Structure 1
Amino acid sequence: MIQATRKKSRRWVVDLVLLGALWGASFLFMRIGAAEFGALPTAAVRVGIATLFLLPILLLTRQGPALAQHWKPILLIGVANSGLPFALFCFALLSLSSGLAAVLNATVPMFGALVAWAWFRDRPDNSRLVGLAVGFIGVALLASRSEAPHTGGPGDSASAQLLGVVACLGACLSYGIAASATRRYLAGIPSLATATGSQIGATLFLVLPAIWLWPSHMPSLHAWLALTALGIFCTGVAYILFFRLIAEAGPARALTVTFLVPVFAVVYGAVFLHEPVTMWMLLCAAVIVCGVALSTGIVKLPLGGAAVKQA
């Protein structure tokens, strides 16, 4: 009995590493897909496949009524949580390396803290405020010397790279807004219903633009396989892992996946896409990770000043 309990208590570590590996791979697959499909079709195919994967699971677990009862907020939040950020990241990956985009993605908790501060008046304590400042300094330093994939196309220009960085940060802000909206409007709703409904909402949001911008030449089997893996494993399976991780290990531990995603993404990009990994990029990534650790409260500085929360 004790051994079984210990085994279960350690399973969250396996889930955490696997989730980091899956979400790290999503940047690799998005870049492969966007190169042939374009940004919006790539995002639309991703959420469409994820919907087809999650919907039967939702029905088998009999959580459909929860989705039917709360479909309006779930679908709308799905646009902010999946549709818009996926499209922005796919656009950014036309001019940025997958590793760099993943490092910028690590700022999501900082944007989440800022949105919660503005929305719920959850003022961070002094340690978290320092973390926010450190994190955004790291982003500014990283953006100042961003490295593109060097495809020989228009995405290699400095302006395109800067636009890609802005798109990544816009996606992170969208995630932060979605997190606070979920807290405000979706509390108590089963996680699988929220995950499935969010993908349905994102699909509805992206389907018409994707059809309009669908590539004139049929993408290769390689690109289709990348998007299939992106939709099933990096979205559908990853969502299930994420919510199980929250249930078993708590939100604070689940949040540490933020540190693993860029590591996996940088390794994947270097091995499979031969993307450059510069010392400047690694140093800036370290600064951003420190900022995230402080701004989320995982690491605290011995500073005075308690957080203030207003009703």
Structure 2
Amino acid sequence: MRNLTAVAPVLWGTTYLVTTEFLPADRPLLAGTLRALPAGLLLLAVTRARPRGAWWWRAAVLGTLNIGLFFALLFVAAYRLPGGVAAVLGALGPFVVAGLAFGLLGQRPSVRILAAGAAGLIGVALLVLRSTAALDPIGLAAAFGGMVSMSFGTVLGKRWGKPDAGLLALTGWQLTVGGALLGIVALFVEGLPNAFTWANFGGFAYLSLIGTAGAYFLWFRGVTTMAPAQVSMLSLLSPVVAAVIGWIVLGQSLSGGQLVGAAVILGAVLVGATTIKVGKPTLLKAVVAP
């Protein structure tokens, strides 16, 4: 279960490369729409299940937080920041989730979790304030806002659980709601799309089918079965993958200050993960187990 959930952030770590190299330039809302809506409609066609009762508004809230708002901010950050920087900022998410889980679910974080959160904040400060690269403030704000939106969605998803229709249907509802909202905003803000290249089609197909429909099903499966802090810790894999891909494929580099900040964040998340028990073995061992 946990190994499968970890596949989702690994796939998300490739988003930054695909966005910058294969998608149309300066169309973040269009990119989010064409990533989410086709995947959601596909899952709706497969499950043929509609929300019932409270799940009408719950699906709308979760779709807005996890998909609509998150995707818009994600693509703005991806267009305006180096992939490794944008993704590593998301490593603060586990600590925001821990705070929200305490307020909404009554799950009190341990002292070590709080210490790891403080170290993560210091790491983010080092990453941003001591950077020699020109870090766009709008991109930084978008990356932070997207992380907060996803954190709320993660905690609420745990609180509400899964509907009788199943997780595949829940995934489809959220992707459809979020994609539709993005489409409306994109139409007014960015206008009608221009002609696409074959590279654009390939990038959208990959993000929609693999990076969205498949990855979000695995992620929401983890959200409904694991503690919020546990599943959020797995998001560490996304910045690691993004940074490695940016270094190998795009030739991107990080300054000394950014490397120190990234190392502090990674260490903080690892320390936090080892304090969370998931039966036997610990979460950290479960993540790296074959």
TM-score (norm 1): 0.76
| Displacement of 1:231 | 1.1
Partners of 2:225 and 2:103 in 1: CA distance: 30
> Residue 178 of structure 1 aligns with which residue?
153
> Residue 53 of structure 1 aligns with which residue?
42
Q: Is the 8 A contact 2:28 2:76 kept in 1?
A: yes
Partners of 1:236 and 1:124 in 2: CA distance: 32
Amino acid at match of 2:150: Y
Would the alpha carbon gap of residues 17 and 133 (structure 1) be closer, same or farther in structure 2, given more than 3 Å must change?
closer
Would the alpha carbon gap of residues 281 and 41 (structure 1) be closer, same or farther in structure 2, given more than 3 Å must change?
same
Partners of 1:222 and 1:231 in 2: CA distance: 14
> Residue 284 of structure 2 aligns with which residue?
none
Matching of residues 125-204 of structure 1 within 5 Å = 125-146=110-131, 158=135, 161-187=136-162, 189=164, 190-204=166-180
Greater shift in the superposed pair: 21-30 or 91-100: 21-30
- List gaps (5 residues or longer) in structure 2: 277-290
Give the match's secondary structure for 1:79: helix
Q: Is the 8 A contact 1:78 1:199 kept in 2?
A: yes
> Residue 298 of structure 1 aligns with which residue?
274
Amino acid at match of 2:260: L
| Displacement of 1:187 | 4.9
Would the alpha carbon gap of residues 266 and 215 (structure 1) be closer, same or farther in structure 2, given more than 3 Å must change?
farther
- The alignment-based identity, stated in percent, is 27
- List gaps (5 residues or longer) in structure 1: 1-10, 149-156, 301-311
> Residue 92 of structure 2 aligns with which residue?
107
> Residue 205 of structure 1 aligns with which residue?
181
Q: Is the 8 A contact 2:98 2:229 kept in 1?
A: no
Alpha-carbon deviations, 1:5-36, whole Å to 9, x = none? xxxxxx864x3564343121122223346652
Across the aligned residues of Structure 1 and Structure 2, the Cα RMSD in angstroms comes to 2.9
| Displacement of 1:215 | 6.0
> Residue 15 of structure 2 aligns with which residue?
26
TM-score (norm 2): 0.81
Amino acid at match of 2:199: H
Would the alpha carbon gap of residues 186 and 31 (structure 1) be closer, same or farther in structure 2, given more than 3 Å must change?
farther
Larger radius of gyration: 1
Alpha-carbon deviations, 1:140-191, whole Å to 9, x = none? 111114466xxxxxxxx55xx1221121111111111112222333455532
Amino acid at match of 1:270: W
| Displacement of 1:252 | 7.1
Would the alpha carbon gap of residues 30 and 186 (structure 1) be closer, same or farther in structure 2, given more than 3 Å must change?
farther
Amino acid at match of 1:183: K
Q: Is the 8 A contact 1:132 1:294 kept in 2?
A: no
Partners of 2:204 and 2:96 in 1: CA distance: 27
Amino acid at match of 1:182: G
